[in-house]
């Protein structure tokens, strides 16, 4: 089963996606997601210039060997660009193997360990009324767990709370962080204002929606360890499902201090790309959920091993699933989620109608549960004619400045 062709497809149906398509001599094709939000062309070029020449003529069946070869032969290890490129190859090869076996991928990964995947949706609002309306909207869509982000008095423009809908006329919680434009948008940050305000919001949400609904929150890497510890402690009465990315991800040791002070469950890792980023977090049980995506953590092969390692420490999955993970990366996550034992929850931000025209998906969302579907392989088809109608457009993630003008983590 030799690889005879590869294509790196760049498309922008509402937002940018990078997709690798691998074709074998038998005419099978596999898809892999290589989208790195705001830095898409770096991965596309890594694939085209450095990886594609290594793939032609290789046996598509040897997934583990190909992974080890791409990881070790580069000499320069890790990093989001390298690991997204390796992930795309890995996903495409699993897609091909499962199609050859005429099975949905989760069957090859060991079969289903559950009937559906609990998903959480993103609610947010510029005030309590808008936030409650957004939570109700997500409950109506079937979500059984809700991430709560909110505007904060004293902070102008803030992650997770759109000043206006991404789609003209759309909902205010329809949040799109990567904006097209020549320069990144500037947003604001004030930790003290945030720490004072957030517990009052969770108090109001619990009072309105009761004690049962699982609630999540994303701190987006903006606090120092002691600030994060204080926040975790102040949110304890509201029984969060998790507090995500409370400190910058680079320093694993920061989580020791946070952990010592709070029983609020902790999730981290959407910007990590290998198991090494989690080494002490997992072995010292400093976190409760692994947030990596299949796309940014080296693919199904690598994330499966990482999650097996986490399972030994009762740490569960919470795979990253914003709209900057393409439907291909999302499908890969769902097959993995269904097969592993230590599934925790899946983030789900539905893609736009335009994106779904380009990527035809077999996964379903019913009654709050995601399922990857029964189509052989990953279950995603790329309509290349539709993709060609939406050329790549440069887009940047925003960044933060404090009131005095200092750049801060976004
Ligand atoms: C999340 C994330 C996203 C990121 C985005 C950056 O938890 O879903 O924090 O909203 O900001 O993936 O590209
Ligand atoms: Mg996040």
Q: Tell me the chain's radius of gyration from C-alpha atoms.
A: 21
Find the ligand nearest to 293 CA.
1
Determine which one of 122, 220, 221, 351 is catalytic: 220
Nearest to residue 245, comparing CAs of 213, 208, 206, 218?
A: 218
Distance, CA of 133 to CA of 59 (rounded, Å): 52
User: Is residue 261's pLDDT more than 80?
Assistant: yes
pLDDT at 339: 98
Looking at ligand 1, which residue's alpha carbon is closest to its atom 4? 322
Q: How confident is the model at residue 249 (pLDDT cuts 50, 70, 90)?
A: confident
Residue 150 Cβ contacting ligand 1 at under 6 Å = no
DSSP states along 164-231: S-SSTT--TT-----EESSSPPEEE--HHHHHHHHHHHHHHHHHHH-S-S-EEEE-TT---HHHHHHH
CA–CA–CA angle 312, 314, 315 (5° rounding): 100
**Three-state DSSP state, 153:** coil
| Neighbouring-strand partners of residue 282 | none
Tokens of 169: 């006329």
Distance, CA of 336 to CA of 354 (rounded, Å): 26
Q: Buried b vs exposed e over 75-108: b needs ≥16 C-beta within 10 Å? A: eeeeebbbbbbbbbbbbbbbbbbbbbeebbbbbb
Looking at ligand 1, which residue's alpha carbon is closest to its atom 12? 322
Looking at ligand 1, which residue's alpha carbon is closest to its atom 2? 322
Is residue 46 part of the annotated active site? The answer reads no
334, 314 Cβ separation under 8 angstroms: no
Residue 124 Cβ contacting ligand 1 at under 6 Å = no
pLDDT at 88: 99
Looking at ligand 1, which residue's alpha carbon is closest to its atom 11? 177
Q: How confident is the model at residue 177 (pLDDT cuts 50, 70, 90)?
A: low
Q: Measured in angstroms, how far is the CA atom of residue 353 from the centroid of ligand 1?
A: 20
- Which atom of ligand 1 is the closest one to the Cα of 244? 7
Distance, CA of 119 to CA of 319 (rounded, Å): 10
**348-367 average pLDDT score:** 95
pLDDT (tens digit, 9 = 90+) per residue, 59-95?
999 999 999 999 999 999 999 999 999 999 999 999 9
pLDDT (tens digit, 9 = 90+) per residue, 129-168?
999 999 999 999 999 999 999 999 999 888 888 776 666 6
Q: Measured in angstroms, how far is the CA atom of residue 215 from the centroid of ligand 1?
A: 17
At residue 72, what are phi and psi to the nearest 5 degrees? -85, -35
Determine which one of 159, 194, 238, 289 is catalytic: 159
Output the CA torsion sign for 226, 227, 228, 233: positive
315, 285 Cβ separation under 8 angstroms: yes
pTM for the model: 0.96
At residue 18, what are phi and psi to the nearest 5 degrees? -115, 125
pLDDT at 77: 94
Do domains 3-104 and 108-374 share one topology? The answer is: no
Q: How confident is the model at residue 244 (pLDDT cuts 50, 70, 90)?
A: very high
What residues contact 131, with CB distance under 8 A and at least 6 apart?
Answer: 123, 124, 125, 148, 150, 201, 205
Best probe residue, ligand 1, of 84, 145, 218 (max atoms within 8 Å of C-beta) = 218
Residue 324 Cβ contacting ligand 1 at under 6 Å = yes
DSSP state of 377: B
Domain 3-104: homologous superfamily in CATH: Enolase-like, N-terminal domain (3.30.390.10)
Distance, CA of 381 to CA of 327 (rounded, Å): 9
Is residue 106 part of the annotated active site? The answer reads no
Looking at ligand 1, which residue's alpha carbon is closest to its atom 8? 322
Instruction: Give the domain ranges of the chain.
Output: 3-104, 108-374
Q: What is the mean pLDDT of the chain?
A: 95
Best probe residue, ligand 1, of 37, 121, 270 (max atoms within 8 Å of C-beta) = 270
Q: Measured in angstroms, how far is the CA atom of residue 335 from the centroid of ligand 1?
A: 21
43, 87 Cβ separation under 8 angstroms: no
User: Is residue 19's pLDDT more than 90?
Assistant: yes
**374-387 average pLDDT score:** 98
Please tell us whether the domain made up of 108-374 is placed in CATH 3.20.20.120: yes
């Amino acid at each position: 089963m030799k690889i005879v062709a590869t294509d790196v497809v760049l498309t922008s149906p509402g937002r940018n996606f990078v997709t690798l398509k691998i074709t074998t001599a038998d005419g099978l094709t596999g898809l892999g997601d290589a989208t790195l939000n705001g830095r898409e062309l770096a991965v596309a070029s890594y694939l085209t210039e450095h990886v594609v020449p290594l793939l032609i003529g290789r046996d598509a069946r040897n997934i583990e060997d190909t992974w080890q070869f791409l990881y070790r032969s580069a000499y320069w290890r890790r990093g989001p660009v390298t690991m997204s490129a390796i992930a795309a190859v890995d996903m495409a090869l699993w897609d091909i193997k499962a199609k050859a076996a005429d099975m949905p991928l989760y069957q090859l990964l060991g079969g289903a360990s559950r009937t559906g995947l609990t998903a959480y949706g993103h609610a947010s609002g510029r005030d309590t009324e808008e936030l409650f309306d957004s939570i109700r909207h997500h409950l109506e869509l079937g979500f059984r767990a809700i991430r709560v982000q909110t505007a904060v008095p004293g902070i102008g423009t803030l992650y997770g709370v759109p000043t206006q809908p991404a789609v003209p006329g759309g909902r205010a919680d329809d949040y799109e962080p990567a904006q097209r434009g020549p320069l990144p948008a500037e947003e604001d940050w004030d930790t003290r204002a945030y720490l004072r305000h957030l517990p009052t919001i969770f108090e109001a949400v619990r009072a309105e929606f009761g004690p049962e609904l699982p609630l999540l929150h994303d701190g987006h890497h903006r606090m120092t360890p002691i600030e994060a510890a204080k926040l975790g402690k102040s949110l304890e009465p509201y029984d969060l499902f998790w507090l995500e990315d409370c400190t910058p991800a680079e320093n694993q040791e920061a989580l020791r201090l946070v952990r010592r002070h709070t029983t609020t469950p902790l999730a981290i890792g959407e910007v990590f790309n290998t198991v090494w980023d989690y080494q002490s977090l997992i072995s010292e049980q400093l976190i409760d959920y692994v947030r990596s995506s299949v796309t940014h953590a080296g693919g199904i092969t690598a994330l499966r091993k990482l999650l097996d390692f986490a399972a030994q420490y009762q740490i569960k999955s919470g795979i990253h699933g914003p709209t900057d993970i393409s439907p291909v990366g999302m499908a890969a996550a769902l097959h993995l989620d269904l097969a592993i034992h230590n599934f925790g929850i899946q983030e789900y931000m539905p893609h736009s109608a335009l994106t779904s025209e380009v990527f035809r998906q077999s996964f379903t969302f019913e009654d709050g549960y995601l399922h990857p579907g029964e189509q052989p392989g990953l279950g995603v088809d790329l309509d290349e004619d539709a993709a060609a109608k939406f050329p790549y457009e440069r887009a940047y993630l925003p960044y933060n400045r404090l009131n005095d003008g200092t750049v801060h983590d976004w």
